[in-house]
Structure 1
Amino acid sequence: MSPMPATEPRTDRFATVPGPRQEVLPAEGRTSTALTLLVIGEDPTGTFTVPDLLDVSGTRVRIRRARNLTEAERLLRDDVNCILLELGPDTAAGLDGLRQLLRLAPQTAVLVLTAGTDTDTALAAEAVRVGAQDQLTPADLEPTHLTRAIRYAVERKRADVAQRQLTETRLLAQENSRLERGLLPTPLLQGADLRFAAHYRPGRSRALLGGDFYDTVRTPDGTVHAMIGDVCGHGPDEAALGVELRIAWRALTFAGLCGDVLLCTLQQVLEHERPDEEIFATLCQVDIAADGRSADLYLAGHPAPLVSLSGMAPQLLPYEHGGPALGLLPGTSGWERARIELGESWSLMLYTDGLIEGRIGQGPQRLGQEGMVELIGRQLAAGLGGEELLDAAVTEVRELNGEELTDDVALLLLESGS
């Protein structure tokens, strides 16, 4: 839409029209309240030829003038509290100008000025419906009435903005809840002689859940399949992609796919669904044999899990067989399997990199995988396990970081039943 047409340059008639008589209060009777009003259009009553207005309550209103929207755009600053827009006789053009102004200054109160004739009633009502806080006529431009109208408009706009922010917050919370249900599902482990625990904590900079996701299921042959992944980036698109990958992984696993074939299929899903070709996802998958004594490990650009075997200190599983992240190298296939012997008593922790990227104190040093191994080893030695172990680990990592972690953290813990 083109800007409202500029009027002819103002002549001296505006300079010769006397401003309204102001009632000057003694200094001790004035308040410190001050507002700035931007007037757009002509000045039919000469009210705005003075630099400011002052009413009996002590409210001071500074005046800025603009002949059209093009000129007004240059004068719009954060200190403008209210805008008075003169609507001309052309109803369509006037409403189009109002809509453009509301786009230029969405946080600022707007009053509209009409000629006050009977035919302007519908125009005024439509202007308020479009987004103006109120409508004035030339008879309303007396300083006391005008300053009161400005104050009321500013307060109504603040209330409208606060209500809109509250509504957006509620919608965001609902969206978070839906995404969380998709990213962090209930495991399907009926019949498995295993203990399961999980922990998720969003980073401090996240308005939404990030792209971390996990899942654990037991297939009819008794194999327990566990997975954790992380979509690069943070936001609703990445979170939604994480949900799609998690659901696809569960469906493909129950359909009988596993290992390299499953990862290749997941990569195809990612390449088809991702909003940007540069987005990729890391993933760690562990397939635990039905007897619980061995497992197959597949890594696609993801940190290796941590395993604690009976009578041994915790250690990282080997990464030598790891392959690239999903979607990082299109057409990649052949993620290798690493066979892990677990024995009778063990615990296996899968995690996202948010856990190991926290800082240690104020310096640049990161916790890293070695620091994580030491931290978990101390907590296991203290007899912690299950959710208690995961909660304690994240709490200590946050304390070492000195503040909330910047990245999301997801942890998944499986422990043998014996």
Structure 2
Amino acid sequence: MPSPMFADHPAQQPPERGMVDALITRTRRLRGDVDAVRQDTSVDEEDPHGRWQLALCDLAVHQLDDLGAHLGQLKTGLPTEAREESPGQAPTRPKSRSLLSRVGSAEWNLLTDEVNWSDELYEIFGRAPEAGPLSLDELPSMLFAEDQAFLATMMTDCLVDGKAIDGEFRIVRTDQSVRTLHMMGEPVLDADGCTASMWAVLRDVSELRRSQHAVRETRDSLQRQRHIAQTEHRIAVELQEAVLPPWRGSLRPPRSGPGALDLAAHYLPSATSALIGGDWYDALELPDGQMLLTVGDLTGHGVSATSTMAMLLGALRGMAVAGIRPGALLGHLNQLLDTSTQPALGSAICCRYDPAARLLTWAQAGHPAPLLFRDGTGRALTPPEGVLLGATSGAAYEQAEVQLRADDLLMLHTDGISRRGPAGDAGIGRLLELAPRFAEARGAQECVRLAVEEFGEAERENDACVLVARIGA
């Protein structure tokens, strides 16, 4: 390749050697830092964000390797500069493919048809040096068919119109491997201003383009998964809002008089998950004037959990309206969940309250017991026997009865609101400590507010809900 001084514009003076050395040192340090970050990046096939970070690190390493190679060439001089070797000195060409071997140069003389290739260009094309370089007419034979027209256009623009070459194309080497080459070149003009020859620098950017492609794919995959997660979250929220009672504050059922309930409830989303879980609460006046009170919690998150919750809550309401007692009702729910096409586990409390007698009949399926607050103190009710829903076929659930009094306060909750360890006992204790404040509260809604203020900002692993019922005089 001729010296740039023979091109159609003067070449800039090369930078001082000390400046290039400093740039090489900085590049090496930065390359080491990026490589350290790449090694520390955990690779998990289920984590698209981690794969994306790793692909970005690989891309940065490739680009820094190329930058280091170019700076090395800038320091040592152009590849085609003649270097005299001492007698007996071993050739300086490395045996393995180095960073510099990704860059080669060529010159095509239009007057003599002479073609000169650097050693690196033979290696890039996978062509034996004894086969000789490719002429401009032979070069397209190694290109992809769809890239041949693009190369012809670049060549024409350079040789006819004197434009610089800057573009990429793909070649198929003799070993059938595919390489992507970036070609930059210019025409060399004679004294009359006519094109006498063309020189070019070709760089193998195959690894760089593969890294860029991997970055785009992982980025697109991450965006798709985010879109899917956002869509699932929206559907789960809409399904939950459609199924749970429309009230979020205090509700006084249509029935009034002695023993009537003052009700309030609240749902708290998970602080560590963007997905909605399968927690539910419900209060329903039954045809015989009694009240159904229930809370429950299903394993899992998202549409699957909320759709199963909707199925169970619908079945629970239907059976309660039909007069099925709490223990038998949970047995039917267990059978329903056990035979469901979407296997899951769940816990639940089912209560039937008779306002005329102020009698609470309840059963539980592996769920935290209701809390009873009376006269400024609180305690957990003694639970009857009952296993998790969906844990075993044919499970039987016992019932318990509790005689309530006027101004008693009953709290039903899922374990997410109070969990502070494997059993959540510390959280239950904090709820019971609210008993004096509950006794001074003006209604169920204020009691719910106190509970939410106590636990609402906690980092819960799961979503939670709480339902409060105050017994009327």
Query: Quick check: 2:377–2:436 contact (8 Å CA) kept in 1?
Result: no
**In 2, Cα distance between equivalents of 1:116 and 1:157:** 23
Q: Deviations over 1:201-256 (max 9, x none)?
A: 23333332223222211112111101111224555544432222112111222233
* Alignment partner of 1:373 is 2:440: no
1:143–1:397: structure 2 CA closer, same or farther, 3 Å change rule? Answer: farther
Question: 2:451 — aligned with what?
Answer: 393
Partner SS for 1:220: coil
Question: 2:392 — aligned with what?
Answer: 329
Mapping for residues 247-266 of structure 1, pairs under 5 Å: 247-266=314-333
1:387–1:115: structure 2 CA closer, same or farther, 3 Å change rule? Answer: farther
Stretch moving more, 285-294 or 263-272: 285-294
Counterpart among 447, 459, 466 of residue 404 in structure 1: 459
Partner SS for 1:295: strand
Q: Deviations over 1:166-223 (max 9, x none)?
A: 5234313312313422563336975134322112223333332223222211112111
Query: Quick check: 2:266–2:467 contact (8 Å CA) kept in 1?
Result: yes
Mapping for residues 266-415 of structure 1, pairs under 5 Å: 266-273=333-340, 275-276=342-343, 279-291=344-356, 293-309=358-374, 311=375, 313-319=377-383, 321-333=384-396, 335-358=397-420, 366-374=425-433, 376-383=434-441, 385-397=443-455, 403-415=458-470
Letter in 2 for 1:164: R
Look at both structures and tell me which one has the larger radius of gyration over its CA atoms: 2
Question: 1:142 — aligned with what?
Answer: 183
**In 1, Cα distance between equivalents of 2:393 and 2:424:** 34
Shift of 1:289: 1.0
Q: Deviations over 1:234-281 (max 9, x none)?
A: 5554443222211211122223323233222111111111634xx432
Mapping for residues 176-191 of structure 1, pairs under 5 Å: 176-181=236-241, 184-186=244-246, 190-191=253-254
Query: Quick check: 2:69–2:100 contact (8 Å CA) kept in 1?
Result: no
How many residue pairs match? The answer is 312
Question: 1:192 — aligned with what?
Answer: 255
**In 2, Cα distance between equivalents of 1:407 and 1:305:** 19
Shift of 1:411: 0.6
Shift of 1:417: 4.3
Query: Quick check: 1:189–1:216 contact (8 Å CA) kept in 2?
Result: no
Question: 1:116 — aligned with what?
Answer: 146
Query: Quick check: 1:299–1:323 contact (8 Å CA) kept in 2?
Result: yes
Give % identity.
27
Shift of 1:154: 8.2
**In 2, Cα distance between equivalents of 1:114 and 1:392:** 72
In structure 1, runs of 5+ residues without a counterpart are 1-22, 39-47, 66-112, 121-134
Query: Quick check: 2:376–2:436 contact (8 Å CA) kept in 1?
Result: no
* Alignment partner of 1:228 is 2:295: yes
**In 2, Cα distance between equivalents of 1:119 and 1:331:** 74
Question: 1:240 — aligned with what?
Answer: 307
Partner SS for 2:278: strand
Q: Deviations over 1:351-394 (max 9, x none)?
A: 1122332259xxx99514334212x2143145264333223323
**In 2, Cα distance between equivalents of 1:395 and 1:64:** 67
In structure 2, runs of 5+ residues without a counterpart are 1-11, 32-55, 72-98, 103-142, 151-167, 172-179, 186-201
1:161–1:391: structure 2 CA closer, same or farther, 3 Å change rule? Answer: farther
Query: Quick check: 2:447–2:468 contact (8 Å CA) kept in 1?
Result: no
Question: 1:90 — aligned with what?
Answer: none
Letter in 2 for 1:250: R
Query: Quick check: 2:236–2:302 contact (8 Å CA) kept in 1?
Result: no
**In 1, Cα distance between equivalents of 2:468 and 2:321:** 21
